[in-house]
Amino acid sequence: MKFDKLKQDEGVAGLTILLSLITMLFVIGLLVMIFSLMGGEISQTSTVLASDTATALQTSVNLTDAGTSLTGCANARNGVLASIVTITNTTGTAVPSNNYTTGTCLVRITSAGIWNSTFANVTYTFTHSGEAFEVINGTTTGISGVTDWYDIFIVIGAMVVLILLTVIIITAIRGSGLMAGGGENRGAGNVGSA
Protein backbone atom coordinates (compact mmCIF):
# COMPACT_ATOMS: atom_id res chain seq x y z
CA MET A 1 0.00 0.00 0.00
CA LYS A 2 2.84 2.39 0.85
CA PHE A 3 4.51 1.55 -2.45
CA ASP A 4 1.34 2.41 -4.40
CA LYS A 5 1.09 5.80 -2.69
CA LEU A 6 4.73 6.44 -3.49
CA LYS A 7 4.11 5.53 -7.10
CA GLN A 8 1.27 8.07 -7.33
CA ASP A 9 3.59 10.88 -6.17
CA GLU A 10 6.33 9.84 -8.58
CA GLY A 11 7.71 12.77 -10.59
CA VAL A 12 6.59 15.47 -8.18
CA ALA A 13 9.09 14.89 -5.37
CA GLY A 14 9.75 18.17 -3.60
CA LEU A 15 7.68 20.08 -6.15
CA THR A 16 5.42 21.53 -3.44
CA ILE A 17 8.41 22.85 -1.50
CA LEU A 18 10.04 24.19 -4.65
CA LEU A 19 6.86 26.01 -5.67
CA SER A 20 6.51 27.38 -2.13
CA LEU A 21 10.09 28.65 -2.28
CA ILE A 22 9.54 30.35 -5.64
CA THR A 23 6.31 31.95 -4.37
CA MET A 24 8.05 33.13 -1.19
CA LEU A 25 10.91 34.72 -3.19
CA PHE A 26 8.40 36.42 -5.49
CA VAL A 27 6.38 37.83 -2.57
CA ILE A 28 9.55 39.02 -0.78
CA GLY A 29 10.74 40.70 -4.00
CA LEU A 30 7.35 42.35 -4.48
CA LEU A 31 7.29 43.67 -0.90
CA VAL A 32 10.88 44.93 -1.16
CA MET A 33 10.03 46.77 -4.38
CA ILE A 34 6.88 48.32 -2.90
CA PHE A 35 8.61 49.48 0.29
CA SER A 36 11.64 50.79 -1.62
CA LEU A 37 9.42 52.78 -3.98
CA MET A 38 7.36 54.11 -1.07
CA GLY A 39 10.50 55.08 0.87
CA GLY A 40 11.93 56.81 -2.18
CA GLU A 41 8.74 58.80 -2.73
CA ILE A 42 8.39 59.73 0.94
CA SER A 43 11.99 60.94 1.10
CA GLN A 44 11.27 63.33 -1.79
CA THR A 45 8.44 65.15 -0.03
CA SER A 46 9.03 68.51 1.57
CA THR A 47 7.45 67.49 4.88
CA VAL A 48 10.06 64.79 5.43
CA LEU A 49 12.85 67.07 4.32
CA ALA A 50 11.82 69.60 6.94
CA SER A 51 15.24 70.98 7.59
CA ASP A 52 17.04 71.32 10.86
CA THR A 53 19.25 74.36 11.34
CA ALA A 54 22.72 74.14 12.82
CA THR A 55 25.44 76.62 13.64
CA ALA A 56 29.09 75.75 13.14
CA LEU A 57 32.50 77.32 13.66
CA GLN A 58 35.24 76.34 11.26
CA THR A 59 38.74 77.50 12.06
CA SER A 60 41.71 78.06 9.77
CA VAL A 61 39.62 78.45 6.62
CA ASN A 62 41.81 79.49 3.70
CA LEU A 63 39.79 82.24 2.03
CA THR A 64 40.33 82.28 -1.74
CA ASP A 65 38.53 83.66 -4.77
CA ALA A 66 38.14 80.04 -5.99
CA GLY A 67 35.99 79.30 -2.95
CA THR A 68 36.48 77.26 0.17
CA SER A 69 34.14 74.49 1.32
CA LEU A 70 32.66 74.77 4.80
CA THR A 71 32.94 71.18 5.99
CA GLY A 72 30.12 71.16 8.56
CA CYS A 73 27.65 72.18 5.88
CA ALA A 74 29.24 70.07 3.12
CA ASN A 75 29.25 66.88 5.25
CA ALA A 76 25.61 67.23 6.32
CA ARG A 77 22.94 65.47 4.26
CA ASN A 78 21.44 68.02 1.84
CA GLY A 79 23.38 70.77 3.60
CA VAL A 80 22.77 74.32 2.40
CA LEU A 81 24.53 77.39 3.78
CA ALA A 82 21.93 79.71 5.34
CA SER A 83 24.09 82.62 6.41
CA ILE A 84 27.54 83.68 7.48
CA VAL A 85 27.49 84.97 11.03
CA THR A 86 31.06 86.22 11.18
CA ILE A 87 34.38 85.83 9.40
CA THR A 88 37.39 86.97 11.39
CA ASN A 89 41.05 86.59 10.58
CA THR A 90 43.51 85.16 13.09
CA THR A 91 44.02 88.56 14.74
CA GLY A 92 40.27 89.00 15.26
CA THR A 93 39.62 91.52 12.48
CA ALA A 94 36.23 91.00 10.85
CA VAL A 95 36.03 90.51 7.08
CA PRO A 96 33.41 92.93 5.71
CA SER A 97 30.40 91.19 4.13
CA ASN A 98 30.92 93.01 0.81
CA ASN A 99 34.25 91.19 0.41
CA TYR A 100 32.82 87.67 0.12
CA THR A 101 29.99 85.71 -1.47
CA THR A 102 28.50 82.38 -0.53
CA GLY A 103 27.44 79.31 -2.44
CA THR A 104 25.72 76.07 -1.39
CA CYS A 105 28.41 75.29 1.19
CA LEU A 106 31.13 77.64 -0.06
CA VAL A 107 32.55 81.00 0.88
CA ARG A 108 34.43 83.00 -1.82
CA ILE A 109 36.48 86.17 -1.54
CA THR A 110 35.18 88.57 -4.20
CA SER A 111 38.30 90.56 -4.79
CA ALA A 112 41.95 89.74 -5.03
CA GLY A 113 42.58 92.24 -2.24
CA ILE A 114 43.97 91.87 1.24
CA TRP A 115 41.64 89.01 2.25
CA ASN A 116 42.64 86.64 -0.56
CA SER A 117 44.57 83.58 0.76
CA THR A 118 43.93 84.68 4.33
CA PHE A 119 43.26 82.13 7.05
CA ALA A 120 40.13 82.96 9.02
CA ASN A 121 37.56 81.59 11.44
CA VAL A 122 34.08 81.31 9.95
CA THR A 123 30.93 81.04 12.05
CA TYR A 124 27.90 80.16 9.92
CA THR A 125 24.45 78.60 10.01
CA PHE A 126 23.25 75.93 7.61
CA THR A 127 20.20 73.80 7.05
CA HIS A 128 20.21 70.08 6.48
CA SER A 129 17.74 67.21 6.18
CA GLY A 130 15.86 66.38 9.33
CA GLU A 131 16.02 63.21 11.40
CA ALA A 132 12.94 61.77 9.66
CA PHE A 133 14.81 61.78 6.36
CA GLU A 134 17.71 59.89 7.94
CA VAL A 135 15.35 57.21 9.30
CA ILE A 136 13.47 56.79 6.01
CA ASN A 137 16.69 56.70 3.99
CA GLY A 138 18.25 54.11 6.32
CA THR A 139 15.12 51.94 6.26
CA THR A 140 14.86 52.07 2.47
CA THR A 141 18.52 51.13 2.10
CA GLY A 142 18.16 48.28 4.60
CA ILE A 143 15.05 46.86 2.91
CA SER A 144 16.61 47.01 -0.55
CA GLY A 145 19.51 44.88 0.76
CA VAL A 146 17.18 41.89 1.30
CA THR A 147 17.66 40.76 -2.29
CA ASP A 148 21.30 39.96 -1.47
CA TRP A 149 19.95 36.87 0.35
CA TYR A 150 18.15 35.47 -2.72
CA ASP A 151 21.01 33.26 -3.86
CA ILE A 152 21.20 31.71 -0.38
CA PHE A 153 17.44 30.98 -0.40
CA ILE A 154 17.74 29.36 -3.85
CA VAL A 155 20.68 27.15 -2.81
CA ILE A 156 18.94 26.02 0.39
CA GLY A 157 15.72 25.33 -1.54
CA ALA A 158 17.60 23.28 -4.14
CA MET A 159 19.30 21.29 -1.36
CA VAL A 160 15.94 20.52 0.26
CA VAL A 161 14.50 19.34 -3.07
CA LEU A 162 17.54 17.12 -3.73
CA ILE A 163 17.35 15.61 -0.24
CA LEU A 164 13.65 14.85 -0.75
CA LEU A 165 14.38 13.23 -4.11
CA THR A 166 17.11 11.09 -2.54
CA VAL A 167 14.81 9.98 0.29
CA ILE A 168 12.03 9.08 -2.16
CA ILE A 169 14.42 7.11 -4.38
CA ILE A 170 15.85 5.20 -1.40
CA THR A 171 12.34 4.49 -0.09
CA ALA A 172 11.25 3.25 -3.54
CA ILE A 173 14.27 0.92 -3.81
CA ARG A 174 13.65 -0.48 -0.32
CA GLY A 175 9.95 -0.92 -1.05
CA SER A 176 10.69 -2.87 -4.21
CA GLY A 177 12.56 -5.53 -2.24
CA LEU A 178 15.82 -5.26 -4.19
CA MET A 179 17.95 -4.22 -1.23
CA ALA A 180 16.75 -6.92 1.17
CA GLY A 181 17.28 -9.72 -1.39
CA GLY A 182 20.74 -8.48 -2.34
CA GLY A 183 21.85 -8.39 1.30
CA GLU A 184 20.71 -11.97 2.00
CA ASN A 185 22.46 -13.31 -1.10
CA ARG A 186 25.71 -11.66 -0.21
CA GLY A 187 25.63 -13.12 3.29
CA ALA A 188 24.84 -16.58 1.95
CA GLY A 189 27.59 -16.35 -0.62
CA ASN A 190 30.15 -15.46 2.00
CA VAL A 191 29.14 -18.42 4.18
CA GLY A 192 29.26 -20.83 1.22
CA SER A 193 32.72 -19.72 0.12
CA ALA A 194 34.15 -20.23 3.58
**What are the structural domain ranges in the chain?**
2-43+141-176, 52-129
Query: What are the residues facing 173 on neighbouring strands?
Result: none
Work out the pLDDT band at 52, boundaries 50, 70, 90: confident
Please report the pLDDT score of residue 148 as a whole number.
Answer: 78
Task: For residue 81, count other CB atoms closer than 10 A to its CB.
Answer: 19
Query: According to the model, what pLDDT value does residue 49 have?
Result: 56
- The arithmetic mean of pLDDT across residues 54-80, rounded, is 83
User: What is the per-residue pLDDT for 14?
Assistant: 63
Q: What is the pLDDT of residue 194?
A: 46
Task: Tell which wins on pLDDT, 136 or 85.
Answer: 85
In this prediction, residue 158 carries a pLDDT of: 80
List of E strands, the chain: 52-63, 68-69, 80-89, 100-102, 106-109, 118-128
pLDDT tops 60 at residue 139: yes
Give Cα 165 to chain centroid, integer Å: 36
CA distance 109 to 7: 87
